[in-house]
Every structure is written in structure tokens, then in C-alpha cells.
Structure 1
Amino acid sequence: MQLVEADCVIPDAVSPPLRPGAVAVAAGRIAALGPPAALRARFPDAARTELGDAILLPGFVNAHQHGRGLSQIQLGYPDDALEPWIARRRGRGTPDPYLLTRHAAEQMLRHGVTATLHANYSYATGDYEAELRGVLRAYDETGLRATVCVGYADQGGLVYPPADEARFRAALSPGAQALLAAARPAYLPLDHTLDLMDQLRADYADHPTITLAYGPAGPQWVSDAGWRAIARHAARSGIGIHFHLLESPAQRATADRLYAGQVLAHLQRLGLFETAVSAAHFTQARAEDLHEALRLGLVVVSNPGANMRLFNGAPPLAAWREAGLPVALGTDNCALDDSEDYLSELRLGGLLARGTAPQDPGAANRLTLAMGTETGARAIFQPGCGRIAPGLCADLVAIDPRRARGVWLDPDCDPLDLVISRCTGADTVMTMVAGVIRHRAGSPRPGPEGLARMAAAARQAGPGAQTHAEEIAQALRAHIPGGEEV
């Protein structure tokens, strides 16, 4: 048993703060919360962690990221429209998925994230199972609570259907065609994917912080047969499904051509919503898509920094909030400031969600907190976290606002306003996952030498690879909306 005491405890987005407050933790879960004196009397033998001026909150939930511990800027290629941006990766070498994910997890813990969803991602090594097991090892070793998606894609890896991929390839130079021909498979065949899920679920059945989910890449990347099989297996196994949805203008145009604009209704017909489902982005959704999302109970994960950096526009969070759509937030490893500072990205999402209608600032901050905690827990299929309440997971973050609470601020200001409006991830003084302190302010960080080696390895590719990848990216730019075919 341990007591975590702070100047203020904010249990959730609805309950009033406790000032001062304490949380009792036992066996990885919340045993009680209340005034420090009362809990000390109730648990006289408990060890005490005293956090002083800190504000204690439920840990933040990064509900969509890919374990990319080094950003594209660090790896040497710039922001671009999504499809050319993806193509530029073909000119880069393959980083170590374990090391990259471990670095991402360590960054998240330092910034107060206690739980995350690792969305589908492959480095196309030709051994997707080994990649995924490296990812799982990274989350296991760091202790970050993670829902890890088993990814799948079987179409649209170069150009989205129904475009003629052979025609697109034929228009490229021999060098670019050779680069594409040398590419190894990114994912496993469908039957192997289902088998891998069964193996991993058995391996991690009793794991305290790791959960499995399916991560079919998105409508334009997965055939109807793939969706049906994954949906059936997920429903039978009781596991969630998370995917990309209407992220870019090109994906919007593809959905219009393939599904007459009725992408969610089409996925429903394939059985997708027979289990818990969340989707990332949704930036290019129209009013009818929003209506369908509400009807189907879809939880959307917004990634505002990534959406704006990759030329997909600012997500209409104010309209979604007004409509009642449940929205969580993820960094997509492409946050506005090119870091894993979740709190800064949450602030951006909260500001976009305010709109122009007059409203109580306190209510706006509470909704922002919910986006980063409770709704995030729904989006990653882990309802046991996201709030501080007896019986729930002991996933806590302590933010010290002393640097933000300058002499110009009223010392009686709303503590949640301090966190949402002024603090950053650098103000995190403690991160606890399942009752274990995984980060304390001042703890050592990974050495820059290792990161530099990882970045250098990822930049290495075959002769001319970057030139040919750039050619493919330019061809895609002409091909996507505004170009010839899609």
C-alpha cells in the first residue's frame, strides 16, 4: 500500500478537485482517495509519496501513435501531403522497431502519458511478426500501458484503388520501378494475421499493461474480404478494432469512388461494428459521415498537429463537440511542435474544440481533460483507466505548476486551468502506471549517441534510393486530387 499526496488531486473531468488530496494505491489499482489526513489514519502503515505543490491527475492517454521515437524531421525528410510523405520513406533505411518504440514510450512517460494505442505500422522488413514482437517488448520493458494493434493491409500500398497501379508504375523511371519491385511485404497474409493474433493473445493473456487490438490500416488499404474476416474474428474474440479514416483529401476522393461516400455504412455491412471500434483522423469527414459515426457509436481520435502538418486541414473539433461525437486525442508521432509533448497537443485540440460560441472556460477545460483521459481510455479499449476512482488502474500523472504559476497569476486560480492553459509535458514530475512510478523529474534520459546511430541507420538505403523515392513522391502528387486520376 502506498499513499500519493499532492497539493491538489483532480479525479476526473467532472468531480471537484481535492485540495489537498491523496490517492491510496494497492496492487496496481486505486484503493481510495480523499484528504491526506483521512487516508493516513485509514492506512497508517502505507508508504508515502509526497508531491508538494503538484497537481495529481489521471494519466494522459495518447490514443493514436505508431511508436516512431524519431520524427520525420529527425530522419531527414520534410512535411508533405500524406501520400507523397509516405512514399518518401521508401528512400530510407529500416530503423530498429524495438529501439524506436522504446524511445517513443520513454518520451511519453516523461510527458505524463500513462497509456497509449500503438496503431498499425510496419517497416516492411519482410518479418512483420518480429517487428511486432519488438514493439511489444518495448512497451513491456518501459511499463507504459499499451494497446498494440496487429496491423493488416492488402491493397493500395502505392496508389489507392480503383486506380490502375500497373499504369502508375509503368510511367516511372526504371530506377524507381526497381525500388518498388525490391520492396518486401509490410504485413502478413490474412490467415497468418488471424493466427498471429491468437498467438499474441495467448502470450499476453495475463499481462498487466498490454492489450491487443486489430489495426486494419484503413478502408482504402483493406479489401472487403479482409474487413469481413477481421471483423468476424474480433467479434468472436472480444477485441477492439482501430483504423485510419478519411485522413486526407485523396482518401476522401477514394471513399467517394469506392463507397459512394458511404464508407461507415459500408464497413457496418461488413460486420465491423459488432465489436468496439475507434478510428483516427476523420478530418475529411462530411456531415453525413458525422451522422453515421454518431449512429454507430464510433469513437474518433483526433491528431490535430499531424493533420495540419500533412496538409489535411485542421480537424473540425468544435463541430464534433457540438454534435456530441466522442473525441480522444493522439500525437500520431507528428505533433505540432515535433515532439511527444502530449499536453501541448491536448491544448491545441482543446482550443480547436472551443469554436466561437460563448461558453464557460471551466467547462471547456473539463471537456479537454476528458478528451485526454476518459475518452482516450474508450478509444484504446481500456476502460479501467482515464479516471482516479476506487477499483480503477493506478495510472497517475503529477504536474508541478510552479514554473507556470508566475507572480502575475492569482494563487487561487483554477488548478485545471493551470494545467490545460499553461503547463507542458516538461512540468511532469511523476508518472505512475499500474501503481509503479515509471518517471520522476530528473531521471536520466537515453544518451544522444544511441539516438544518433538509430537516425543514421534509418537514413541509409541503397544507391539512388532517395532520388527514386522523390520521383515516386512527385508522381503521387500529380496523381492525387487535383492530378489526373483520383
Structure 2
Amino acid sequence: MQLLTADCVIPGAERPPLRPGAVAVDAGRIVALGTPDNMRACFPAARLTALGDAILLPGFVNAHQHGRGLSQVQLGYPDDQLEPWIARRRGRKAPDAYLLTRLAAQEMLRNGVTATLHANYSYATGDYEAELRGVIRAYEETGLRATVCVGFANQGGLVYPPTDESAFRDGLSPQAQALLSQTRPAYLPLQETLVLTDRLLSEYAGHPTISIAHGPAGPQWVSDAAWQSIAAHAARTGTGIHFHLLESPAQRAVAETLCSGAVLKHLEALGVFETQVSAAHFTQARAHDVEEALRLGLTVVSNPGANMRLFNGAPPLADWRAAGLPVALGTDNCALDDSEDYLSELRLGGLLARGTGAAAKANRLTLAMDTKIGAQAIFQPDIGTIAPGQRADLVALDPTRARGPYTDPDCDPLDLILGRCTGADTLLTMVGGDIRYRAGEPPAPTAEVAEMAAAARLAGPDAGVQAEEIAEALRQELPR
């Protein structure tokens, strides 16, 4: 049993803060909360962790990211439209998914993130299961709670359907075609994907921090027959489904063609919404898409920094909030300030969601985006609030630690967090009752990651030039 005390405890978006407050934790879960005096009287033998002037609140939930511990800028390809940006990766060798994910997880913990969803991703090594197991090992070793998606895609890997891929390849130089011919499979075939999912669901059943979900890449990357099979498996096993949805103008155009503009109705007809579902981005959604999302109970994960950096526009969060759409937040490893500083990205999302409406509940709704709705988006119902029975995923912040010695004692603590705090203000990050980060700890060693990234820099002497040719050819295919 341990007892954490702080100047302020914020139990969640819907409950007033305790000033001062205390939280009792045992066996990885919250037992009780109240005033420090009452909690000490109730649990006199508990080990005390006194956090002083800190603010203690539910841990942050990064509801959509890919375990990319080095950003695209660090790896040498700057911001661009999404599709050419993706194509530029073809000029590089596959990095080590374990090392990159471990670094990303360590950075998230340093920034107060206690839980994440690792979305569909592959470095096309030709051994997707090995990649995925490396990802899971990284989360296990760091202790970050993770919903890990088993990825799948079987179309649109080069150009979105219905564009003729053969014709597109024929229009490239022989050198660029040769680079494409070296591409290894990114994912397993469908039936092998389902078998792997079953195996992982069995292996990680009851695991304290790892959960498994389906990760079909998105409507333009997955055939209807595959969606049906994945949906049926998810419904039978009770497994959540998470995918990319209407991220870019090109994806919007594909949805118009393949799904007659009604992409969510199309997925509904394939059985996708027979289980829990969340989807990332949604930036290019139209009014009828929002209405369908509300009807179907879809939880959307917004990635505002990534959407703006990759030329997809700012997500209309104020309109979504006004409509009542449940929205969580993810960094997509492409946050506005090119780091895993989750609080800075949450501030951006909260500001975009304010619109011109009343201020009274704005920050409470932003906190819910991060914690309560974030938990829903990653299929983890027992995190996101500080309440008896919930998992003890907590973060302690000191608003004066990084950027100043004074704050008005009458200031609302949530206003301080969302108006001023950054990840550098994190004092302590706890996952399932275990402290996974304390302020003052040295940063994670990065020499091994840097060496690996340098070794994976180019797939061949002219690979960068050939990848650039492919990217520019793709740009010509994008809707004008």
C-alpha cells in the first residue's frame, strides 16, 4: 500500500479538485482518495510519497502514435503532403522497430503519458511478426501501458485505388522502378494476420500493461473482403478496431469514389461497428460524416500538429465538440513542436476546440479529451480517472518547475496545467502503481538509436534521388 499526497488532486474532468489531496494505491489500483489527514488515518501503514506543491491527476493518454522515437525531420525528410512524405521513406533501409519504440515510450513517460495506442505501422522488413514483437517488448520493458494494434493492409501501398498501379510504375524511370522492386511485404496475408492476432490475444490475456487490438490501416488500404473478415474476428473475440480515417484530401477523394462518399456507412455494412471502434485524424470529414460518426458511436482521435504539418489542415475541433463528437488526442509522433511533449499538443487541441463558445467548461472538456475519452479510444475502460477500482495511472506536475518560480495561489490548477505546463514540469509518472519516471532521472541513452538510424540512412547510393522521383510522381496524382 502506498499513499501519494499533493497540494492538489484533480480526479478527472467531471469532479472538483481536492486541495490538498491524497490517493491510496494498492496492487496497481486506486483504493481511495480524500484529504491527506483522512487518508493517513485510514491507511497508517501505507508508504508515503509526498509530492509537495504538485498537482496530481490521471495520466495522459496518447491515443494514436506509431512508436517513432525519432521524428521525420531527424531522419532527414521534412514536412510535406502526406502521400509524398510517406513515399520518401522508400529511400531508406528499415530501422529497428524495437529501438525506436523504446525511445518513444521513454519520452512519453518523461512527458507524463501513462498509456498509448500503438497504431498500425510497418517498416516493411519482410518479417512483420518480428517487428511487432519488438514493439511489444519495448512497451513491456519501459512499463508504458500500450494497446498494440496488429496492422494489416492489402492494397494502395503505392497509389490509392482505383489508380492503376502498373501504369504508375511504368511512368517512372528504370532506377525508380528498381527501387520499388526491392520493397518487401509490409504485412502478413489476411489469414496469417488473424492467426497472429489470436496468438497475441492468448499470450497477453490478463497482462498488466499490454493489450491487443486490430489495426487495419484505413479504407483506402484494406479491401472490402478483408474488412469483413477482420470485423467478424473482432466481433467474435471482443477485440477493438483502430484505423486511419479521412486524413488527407486524397483520402477524401478515394472515399468519394470507393464508398460513394459515405465511408462510415460503407464500413458499417461490412460489420466494422459490431465492436469497439476508434479512428484517427478525420480531418477531411464533412458534416454527414460527423453525423454518421455520432450515430455509430465512433471515437475520433485528433492529431492536430500532424494534420497541419502534413498539409491536411487544422481539424475542426470546435465544430466536433459542439456536435458532441467524442474526441481524444494523439501526437502521431509528428506533434507541432516535433517532440513527445504531450501537454503542448493537448494545449493546441484544446485551443482549436474552444471556438467562440463559453469559457466556463473549456478546460474541463480538454482534460476529458486527454484522459476519459482517451481511455475510451484505446479500449481501456479502467484508466482515465482517479477513482476507487481504477488502475493507478497517475502523473504529478509542478507548474513552477520548468518556467517560473511563482503562480497565484488562487489560480485554478487546471488552468495552470493547460495554460502553461509542458512535459518538463512532470515530477512523477506512475503506471499501474509503479513509478516509471521521476524528475531528475537522466534521459534515456540514445547512442544506440542514433547508430541504428545512421546505418539505415539510405537503401542504396541513389535511393534518395529515386525516392524523391516517386514522391514527385505521386504528387501529380493528388487531387488539385
TM tier, shorter chain?
Answer: over 0.9
Residue by residue over 1:111-166, the C-alpha shift from the partner in whole angstroms, topping out at 9 and shown as x without a partner, is 00000000000000000000000000000010000000000000000000011111
3-state DSSP of counterpart to 1:133:
helix
Q: Any conservation in 2 of the 1:400–1:428 contact (CA below 8 Å)?
A: yes
Q: Any conservation in 1 of the 2:458–2:464 contact (CA below 8 Å)?
A: no
2:43 alignment partner in structure 1: 43
Question: What displacement does 1:397 show?
Answer: 0.2
Q: How does 1:394-473 map to 2 (within 5 A)?
A: 394-403=392-401, 406=404, 409-473=407-471
Measure the CA separation in 1 of the matches of 2:19 and 2:134: 43
Q: How does 1:219-230 map to 2 (within 5 A)?
A: 219-230=219-230
Query: Please, which moves more after superposition, 199-208 or 422-431?
Result: 199-208
2:19 alignment partner in structure 1: 19
Measure the CA separation in 2 of the matches of 1:23 and 1:400: 17
Q: How does 1:61-76 map to 2 (within 5 A)?
A: 61-76=61-76
Q: Any conservation in 1 of the 2:402–2:424 contact (CA below 8 Å)?
A: no
Residue by residue over 1:227-282, the C-alpha shift from the partner in whole angstroms, topping out at 9 and shown as x without a partner, is 00000000000010000000000000000011110000000000000000000000
Measure the CA separation in 2 of the matches of 1:30 and 1:52: 20
Measure the CA separation in 1 of the matches of 2:462 and 2:416: 51
3-state DSSP of counterpart to 2:198:
helix
Aligned match for 2:375, one of 358, 374, 377: 377
Q: Any conservation in 1 of the 2:60–2:113 contact (CA below 8 Å)?
A: yes
1:215 alignment partner in structure 2: 215
Amino acid paired to 2:344: S
3-state DSSP of counterpart to 1:294:
helix
Amino acid paired to 1:473: A
User: Structure 1 stretches (4+) deviating beyond 3 angstroms?
Assistant: 403-409
Query: Please, which moves more after superposition, 448-457 or 394-403?
Result: 448-457
Question: What displacement does 1:409 show?
Answer: 4.2
Query: Structure 2: 5+ residue runs without aligned partners?
Result: none
3-state DSSP of counterpart to 1:219:
coil
Does 2:341 match 1:341? Answer: yes
Query: Please, which moves more after superposition, 37-46 or 404-413?
Result: 404-413
1:80 alignment partner in structure 2: 80
1:478 alignment partner in structure 2: 476
- How many aligned residue pairs are there? 480
Aligned match for 1:393, one of 391, 413, 416: 391
Q: Any conservation in 2 of the 1:74–1:455 contact (CA below 8 Å)?
A: no
Query: Structure 1: 5+ residue runs without aligned partners?
Result: none
Amino acid paired to 1:461: A
Residue by residue over 1:303-329, the C-alpha shift from the partner in whole angstroms, topping out at 9 and shown as x without a partner, is 000000000000000000000000000
Instruction: Please tell me the root mean square deviation across aligned C-alpha atoms, in Å.
Output: 1.0
Does 2:184 match 1:184? Answer: yes
Amino acid paired to 2:271: G
Amino acid paired to 1:475: A
Measure the CA separation in 2 of the matches of 1:272 and 1:171: 37
Does 2:353 match 1:353? Answer: yes
Q: Any conservation in 1 of the 2:8–2:19 contact (CA below 8 Å)?
A: yes
Query: TM-score normalized by structure 2?
Result: 0.99
Query: Please, which moves more after superposition, 305-314 or 440-449?
Result: 440-449
Residue by residue over 1:272-298, the C-alpha shift from the partner in whole angstroms, topping out at 9 and shown as x without a partner, is 000000000000000010010000000
Q: How does 1:146-225 map to 2 (within 5 A)?
A: 146-225=146-225
Question: What displacement does 1:408 show?
Answer: 7.0
Question: What displacement does 1:469 show?
Answer: 0.3
Measure the CA separation in 2 of the matches of 1:449 and 1:133: 22
Question: What displacement does 1:92 show?
Answer: 1.1
1:100 alignment partner in structure 2: 100
Measure the CA separation in 1 of the matches of 2:224 and 2:315: 27
Q: Any conservation in 2 of the 1:405–1:411 contact (CA below 8 Å)?
A: no
1:297 alignment partner in structure 2: 297
Residue by residue over 1:415-456, the C-alpha shift from the partner in whole angstroms, topping out at 9 and shown as x without a partner, is 000001100011000000000000000112122422321321
Percent sequence identity is 75
Question: What displacement does 1:13 show?
Answer: 0.2
Q: Any conservation in 2 of the 1:255–1:261 contact (CA below 8 Å)?
A: yes
3-state DSSP of counterpart to 1:459:
coil
Measure the CA separation in 1 of the matches of 2:352 and 2:133: 37
1:329 alignment partner in structure 2: 329
3-state DSSP of counterpart to 1:243:
strand
Measure the CA separation in 1 of the matches of 2:452 and 2:23: 40
Measure the CA separation in 2 of the matches of 1:232 and 1:97: 29
Amino acid paired to 1:129: E
1:238 alignment partner in structure 2: 238
3-state DSSP of counterpart to 1:390:
coil
Amino acid paired to 1:240: G
Measure the CA separation in 2 of the matches of 1:300 and 1:159: 25
3-state DSSP of counterpart to 2:465:
helix
Q: Any conservation in 1 of the 2:146–2:209 contact (CA below 8 Å)?
A: yes
Q: How does 1:225-304 map to 2 (within 5 A)?
A: 225-304=225-304
Query: TM-score normalized by structure 1?
Result: 0.98
Question: What displacement does 1:407 show?
Answer: 6.6
Question: What displacement does 1:459 show?
Answer: 1.2
C-alpha spacing 1:407/1:453, structure 2 compared with 1 (3 Å): closer
Q: Any conservation in 2 of the 1:154–1:222 contact (CA below 8 Å)?
A: yes
Measure the CA separation in 2 of the matches of 1:14 and 1:458: 47
Measure the CA separation in 1 of the matches of 2:430 and 2:190: 37
Measure the CA separation in 2 of the matches of 1:218 and 1:452: 31
Q: Any conservation in 2 of the 1:404–1:418 contact (CA below 8 Å)?
A: no
Measure the CA separation in 2 of the matches of 1:452 and 1:120: 24
Residue by residue over 1:20-70, the C-alpha shift from the partner in whole angstroms, topping out at 9 and shown as x without a partner, is 101000000000000011111111110011111100000000000000000
Measure the CA separation in 2 of the matches of 1:408 and 1:387: 28
Question: What displacement does 1:458 show?
Answer: 2.9
Question: What displacement does 1:404 show?
Answer: 6.7
3-state DSSP of counterpart to 2:151:
strand
1:57 alignment partner in structure 2: 57
Measure the CA separation in 1 of the matches of 2:162 and 2:18: 57
Measure the CA separation in 2 of the matches of 1:81 and 1:20: 48
3-state DSSP of counterpart to 1:278:
strand
Q: Any conservation in 2 of the 1:405–1:418 contact (CA below 8 Å)?
A: no
3-state DSSP of counterpart to 1:159:
coil
Amino acid paired to 1:443: E
Measure the CA separation in 1 of the matches of 2:303 and 2:457: 26
Question: What displacement does 1:94 show?
Answer: 1.3
Question: What displacement does 1:356 show?
Answer: 1.6
